[in-house]
Each structure stands twice: as C-alpha cells, then as structure tokens.
Structure 1
Amino acid sequence: MTTPKPGSILLGTTQPAVLRDWYRKALAPEHTGEGPIDLGGFLLVIDQRDDVGSKTNEPGRVILNFHVDNFDEVEEQLQAAGVDWIAPAEDRPSGRFATFADPDGNYLQIIQFAERVSPASTHT
C-alpha cells in the first residue's frame, strides 16, 4: 500500500493579494511571481474564495508547522516581518515552539525539535 506525500496546501481567502504578500515577506522573501509559493518543497496555493469569511473561526483546528534547524534565525526573520505572535517561543521536552498568525487568523508554528526526538514520533 502506498502512502501519499503531501505536496501543497490551498488557503482560501477574501484577500489573496494581502495574504500572498504576507507569506512572501514572512516565510519566502526570495519568492517572485504569482504562482504557488515554494516553502521548502511544499507548495502554498493562495486562492480568492467566495465561500469563506475574512477571518477563520477556529484558527487552532489546523496549524501549519515549519520545522527549522535554527529557531533563533527564523524567529528573527518573522519578527522583522512583523508577524502577530499568538504564543511566544517556549521550550518543551520535545523542542522549541512558537505560534503566530497570518492576516486571516490562521495559525502557524515554527518548531525546532530536540535532537533526541524524531518529528515522526512527536505529536504537537
């Protein structure tokens, strides 16, 4: 049996230009063009939608996690981009975590797992 590998996520929004600019500034400053934003081999597709509100109602339902090797460097990049921090950096037994939100209120996290912990064996 084959296990499919996730390749992209679609974010439906009422403000695609704002969301695209925010994601570029915060997470992919080298990205240019109007197509999907490459987030380290995982594609982010931002689409104008009429069936969603301007803000998410349950931002904690789905959280997009970014596994990083240098937490401080990525945290500094996000600070410079002016992200809205939901939960500041916190050390946990499995690693270091911080949660922030995009302009639509969707939650995202940066995670630097402890060396002794495998991301496959950890639930956040």
Structure 2
Amino acid sequence: MSAATLGSMLLSSTDPDRLGAWYAAAFTPADDARVETYRILKFGDFYLMIDSRDDVGASNPEPGRMILNFDVDDARAVAARLDEMGATWLAPLEDRDGSLFATAVDPDGNYVQLVQISPEHQAEMAASTQLG
C-alpha cells in the first residue's frame, strides 16, 4: 500500500470571492482557476480550494484549530504586502535564530502563518530526517 499524499484543502466561507481574492493577492499562486463554484489556487503541489457552505459562519470561532503555513522566499516582502492590504496580525514578523515567522488573520478569521526557514535550519531539518 502506498503512502497517502495531502494535495488540497477546502476552505469554506460565507464570502468566497472576498476570501479567494485575499489569498491570491497575498500569496501570488502559481495558478488561479474557477471550476464550477470553486476557486482553486495552486501553491506548489498543494491546492487551496475556496467555496461557500451553508453550515459555516462569517468568522472562524476556533482559528487556532487549523493554521495555513505558507513557506515563502521573502517573508519581509510578503508581510509588507499584507500590511498594505490592511491585514491583522496575530503575531508580527519575528526572527527566530535566522528563520522568520509571522501569523496573520485572513478576512474570515483563519490563522495564516508565513514561514521563511533559514538555509542553516533547512540543513539541520534535512539531516535529522535522514537520521530518523
């Protein structure tokens, strides 16, 4: 039996057009398509699908339950773009021993983390996965 691959996530909203526009402007997807009622944003090999549902509220009541992590090449530039968009920050951009992290709040109240791992930390993570 082969291992499963996580390839996408459905993010439901009472205003999927607003939410989809926010993610497209904030993170510049490789592809931005509409298929039926879905807006499908491609980030690397991962698809963020945005649609409406009748069983969700306007704002996420437990945003810490699920956090979208975006690996970015330039966290400072992405944070500045989010600032220009008027983003709310749960945790502003922070340098943690050379790696950069920040947590923004999307228009529906979901937490979105920016992650820029330093080359040194990337090498340490690669070495530790080879040992395990």
Do both share a fold (TM > 0.5)? yes
Q: Does 1:80 align with 2:81?
A: no
Say which structure is richer in helix. Answer: 2
The 3-state SS of whatever aligns with 1:5 is: coil
Structure 1 length as normaliser, TM-score? Answer: 0.83
Structure number with greater Rg is 2
Per-residue CA deviations over 1:4-45 (Å, capped at 9, x if unaligned) read 222111001111111112112212277554241112331111
Equivalent in the alignment of 1:16: 16
- State how far apart, in whole Å, the 1-side matches of 2:98 and 2:4 are: 26
Paired AA for residue 40 in structure 2: P
Distance 1:51 1:112, change over 3 A: same
Say yes or no: does 1:39 pair with 2:54. Answer: no
Is the CA contact 2:30–2:42 (under 8 Å) kept in the aligned structure 1?
Answer: no
Residues in 2 aligned to 1:6 and 1:73: alpha-carbon distance in whole angstroms: 28
CA 1:76–1:30 in structure 2 vs 1: closer, same or farther (change >3 Å)?
A: farther
- Note the C-alpha offset of 1:96: 1.3
Q: 1:27 — aligned with what? A: 27
Identify unmatched segments of 5+ residues in structure 2. Answer: none
Relative contact order, higher structure (CA 8 A, sep 6+): 1
**Deviations 1:34-76 (Å, cap 9, x if unpaired)?**
2411123311111110111111111111111011222222222
For structure 1, the 5+ residue unaligned runs are: none
Structure 2 CA distance for aligned equivalents of residues 56 and 32 of structure 1: 24
Residue number in structure 1 paired with 2:120? 116
Contact 1:27/1:78 (CA < 8 Å) preserved in 2? Answer: no
Identity of aligned residues (%): 45
